[in-house]
Amino acid sequence: MKFERYGIGIAKGLTVTMRNLLRRRITTQYPEQRLTVSRRTRGNELVWSKEKCTGCATCAKTCPQGVIHIVTSPGEENSYEVEEFEVDTGYCISCGLCVEACPYDALYMSYAFELARYRRGELVLSRNDMLIENKQASAYFRPEISETLPEQELLIDRKE
């Protein structure tokens, strides 16, 4: 603490904190105030379109964590019937590689992110839990639904 500058540095610092005292607070009080998240949000859940899925299991092969479980059986007209389709979201790292890999655009990341559960078992999603009819899909790798989602709220656009 050499006072060769006679405390000017300390005084400067005090003005900066005082200026910030008068600025707008940055905190968003989450459950009551919410910011709109990105359109490409990678929620910790998958959304699945039953119509588009052909049961090729590319997603299961791509998944680095190996949490996608898919069982198919040969159906009519040279196609596969998806019998089981399960995702253990407890082990999912939301990397989005499955969505990217899906050749038929049948898999989506979810737009929702508030997915805490009380039991681990409840984190395993079966095919009916993931149907696109019931869930909001995110625009991650699916730019076609980007416009249907609200625009992201950026902190930089906020007033000071």
Partner 1 sequence: MQLRTEPFVLNIGPVHPSTHGVFRMRATLDGEVVVDLEPVFGYLHRGIEKLAEERTYSGVIPLTDRLDYVASITNNLAYVLAVEKLAGITVPERAEYIRVITSEMQRIAAHLVSVGSFLNDAGAYFTPFLYMYRERENIVDLFDMLCGQRLLYSYMRIGGVSQDLPDEFLPALRKFIPHMRSRINEYDWLLKENEILLARAKGVGILPRETAISIGASGPVLRGCGVKWDLRKADPYSIYDRFEFDIPTGIQGDCYDRYRVRVEEMRQSLRILEQAVEQIPAGEIRGDVPQLVRPPAGEAYAHVEGPTGEVGFHVVSDGSIAPYRCHIRAPSLMNLTALKDMIVGWKVQDLILIFGSFAITMGEVDR
Partner 2 sequence: MMVVPNITADAFRHFAPVASDWPGNEWWHWLVFTVIIIVFILVMVIIFIYLERRIIAWFAARIGPNRTGPFGVFQNIAAALKLLLKEGVNPTNADILIFWLAPIVVFAPVIAVFAVVPFQDGALLKDLNIGILFVIAISSISTIGVFMAGWSSGNKYSMLGAMRMIAAVVSYEIPVVLALAGVVMLAGSLSLNDIVVAQERVPFILLQPLGFLLLFVGGCAEINRSPFDLMEADSELVAGFHTEYSGIKWAMFFLGEFGEMVVMATLIATLFLGGWQGPGLPPWLWLLIKIFIVDFVMIWTRATLPRVRIDQLMALAWKFMFPLALVNLIVTAIQVLAWPDALPLYVIPINWVITVMLVLLGSKLFKLGWGRVEV
Binding region for partner 2 (CB under 8 A): 1-4, 6-7, 10, 13-14, 16-18, 20-21, 23, 25-27, 29
Interface region with partner 1, contact rule CB under 8 A, candidates 35-43, 78-86, 114-122, 124-132: 35-43
State the nearest-atom distance from the C-beta of 14 to partner 2, in Å. Answer: 5
Interface region with partner 1, contact rule CB under 8 A, candidates 17-25, 45-53, 77-85, 125-133: 17-25
Give the one entry of partner 2, partner 1, none that residue 21 binds, where binding means its C-beta sits below a cut-off of 5 to 8 angstroms depending on kind: partner 2
DSSP 44-92: EEEEE-TTT-----HHHHH-SS--EEEEEEE-SSS-EEEEEEEEETTT-
Give the one entry of partner 1, partner 2, none that residue 29 binds, where binding means its C-beta sits below a cut-off of 5 to 8 angstroms depending on kind: partner 2
- What is the C-alpha separation between 56 and 70, in angstroms, rounded? 9
- What is the C-alpha separation between 38 and 111, in angstroms, rounded? 9
Task: Please give the C-alpha separations between residue 158 and each of 24, 27, 155, in angstroms, as whole numbers.
Answer: 9, 12, 5
Does 96 sit near partner 1 (CB under 8 A)?
Answer: yes
